[in-house]
Structure 1
Amino acid sequence: MTHSMEMASYRKPESIKGSTRIAGLLLASVMALALAGCNTTATDMTGIDKAQGSAENISSLNDVIRNNPKDPEAYNVRGSAFGRAGRSNDAIKDFNTALQLNPNFYQAYANRALVYRNLGNTAQAAADYSRAIQINPQYDTAYIGRGNLYRQAGKLDQALNDFQQAIQLNTTDARAYHNRGLIYQARNQHKQAIEDFSTAISLQPDAAEPYNGRGISYVALGDDDNAFDDFNTAIKLDGDIAEGWANQALIYEHRGEKARAAKSYAKAVQLDPNYKPAKDGLARTRGA
């Protein structure tokens, strides 16, 4: 997260009657966020503002390339702009050209990997991230990108290794901590998860997702008050994420405030009519 951070999950029973069911819903809530993408970082496509995908900007980049047809950086930048504009085939073509001009252009490999990932070609994306790492073993962005692929494929040990490597390289990319936090959370290591989510928040305080993630771990530890604060902050930062509203609703439900819960569930359903935890929660609380 502009940025939309990778998200995920978790649980733990509490003392309130019915809380095991609620905790399970919280787990499903955040697991649905696991496929969201968080893209940050300097010269890479992951850090280019969405405005750079505008027709006006692409036109300017066309002029740059006409004046510098042998400049790999120009193709890398335009490829990134094409990627932001959703023009995946054009983006891949430009990254290919950049790599033909400079076979060691590791940023172009990482940018092409992101396009392949968005196209669902995870094998090629992983290969490109690995090639970027082979060229530059200090390149934190590639470890984070490949780690995200591993995490989404359920290869948590490999994902953890990549996030650990990025963190050991002193990355300032919040995704490394956020996603390591998700793995700790998946393993019910909630105190470690909270520490990582807090670091992610300090690095990227305008991102809603780490607040949702940290809130889930607070719930798992029985700390509904801090969880509620985090879910409310997540909504303030980005009120268009259905999971945030559903998570808030679950706390209301924990507290027996069914009318408020139903209102928040309804907002989540409005944002994402197919989001099952919100639909189920609304069915439980509507008219209660």
Structure 2
Amino acid sequence: MLAAAGCTTTGPVEVISIDEAQGTQENISSLTNVIRNNPNDPKAYNTRGSAYGRAGEFNKALADFNKAIAIDPNYYQAYANRALVYRGMGDLSAASNDYNKALRINPRYDVAYIGRGNMYRQAGQTNNAFNDFQAAINLDTTDPRAYNNRGLIYQTRGQHKLAIEDFSTAISLSPSAPLPYSNRGLSYLAQGDDENAFADINKALDLDKTIAEAWVNQGLVYEKRGELTKAKRSYAHAARLDPDYKPAKDGLARVS
């Protein structure tokens, strides 16, 4: 049950984490004015591309990143940002090419290692993903995703002590991010530490009640305790949030 719930999903595509993403849909018009006044400024296109990416307007984002790269072919941030949009569009080959270009230009760019690692994890290439997260950590990254996602790989390998250490580091870097709490709770549960598991999972839900994985993990704790009615309620809530989330459906099947 723990293996099924822990790491079968890759999480949402991280468009909201596009590097240099300062814009949202609300200020795209102001960014357009910046570009109108600075038509040869690659950073202006990169920033607006990031805003389009946040808004899910991938084709417009690609056009802006293409323009930024045309102006400055060594703009490694734009390559990494464009790669993230390609991931969102499901074009992992193009994403890989762009991450590789970014890292050739700047081999110390931790964001590109993390992004490429997430792409590898999405594709099921966990060893390659692990190596990229490790590379970012070796560069002393302060991005919590590197630790959280390396922790997920430790978790799938059954190395829960190491996973807990990584999730704890991710939490220290971003205390308001819910997923590392939920993930750490699952590893505590795997170690038989129900009390800490329940505390972490409930903390994740306090921070964000829309995460199906956290509701499933809460269900697992209740199920382990034999509180099947409560477990069923948690699994059902997860299934309402994400009707295609298999661990939620499997949990409901077990306790119904």
Query: Normalising to structure 2: TM-score of the pair?
Result: 0.94
**Secondary structure at the counterpart of residue 35 of structure 1:** coil
Distance, in Å, in 2 between the alignment partners of 1:275 and 1:96 is 35
Residue matched to 1:272 = 242
Residue of structure 2 in register with 1:33 after alignment? 9
Q: Would the aligned equivalents of 2:13 and 2:87 in 1 still touch at CA under 8 Å? A: no
How far the C-alpha of 1:228 sits from its partner, in A, is 1.1
The answer for the alignment partner of 2:231 in structure 1 is: 261
Query: C-alpha distance in 2, partners of 1:86/1:204?
Result: 24
Aligned length: 256
| Shift, 1:60, TM fit | 0.7
> Do the aligned residues in 1 keep the contact of 2:52 with 2:61 (CA within 8 Å)?
yes
Higher relative contact order (CA 8 A, sep 6+): 1
Question: Is residue 238–residue 248 contact of structure 2 (8 Å, CA) maintained in 1?
Answer: yes
Q: Which residue of 2 aligns with 1:111?
A: 81
98, 112, 137: which one aligns with 2:107: 137
Instruction: Name the CA distance, whole Å, in 2 between partners of 1:96 and 1:277.
Output: 39
Aligned counterpart in structure 2 of residue 53 of structure 1, from 24, 35, 45: 24
Larger mean Cα displacement after TM superposition, 26-35 or 140-149? 26-35
Establish whether residue 186 from structure 1 lines up as the match of residue 156 from structure 2.
yes
Kept in 2, the 8 Å contact 1:206–1:237? The answer is: yes
User: SS of the counterpart of 1:34?
Assistant: coil
Task: Return the TM-score normalized by structure 1.
Answer: 0.84
1:147 is aligned to 117
The share of aligned pairs that are identical, in percent, is 61
SS where residue 126 of structure 1 aligns?
Answer: helix
Structure 1: runs of 5+ lacking an equivalent? 1-23
1:194 deviates by: 0.6
1:30 maps to a residue whose letter is G
Letter in 2 for 1:111: N
Contact kept? 2:15, 2:85, Cα under 8 Å: no
> Where does the alignment leave 5 or more consecutive residues of structure 2 unmatched?
none
Code of the aligned partner of 2:24: G
| Cα distance in 1, alignment partners of residues 159 and 8 from structure 2 | 20
- Residue of 51, 61, 75 corresponding to 1:91: 61
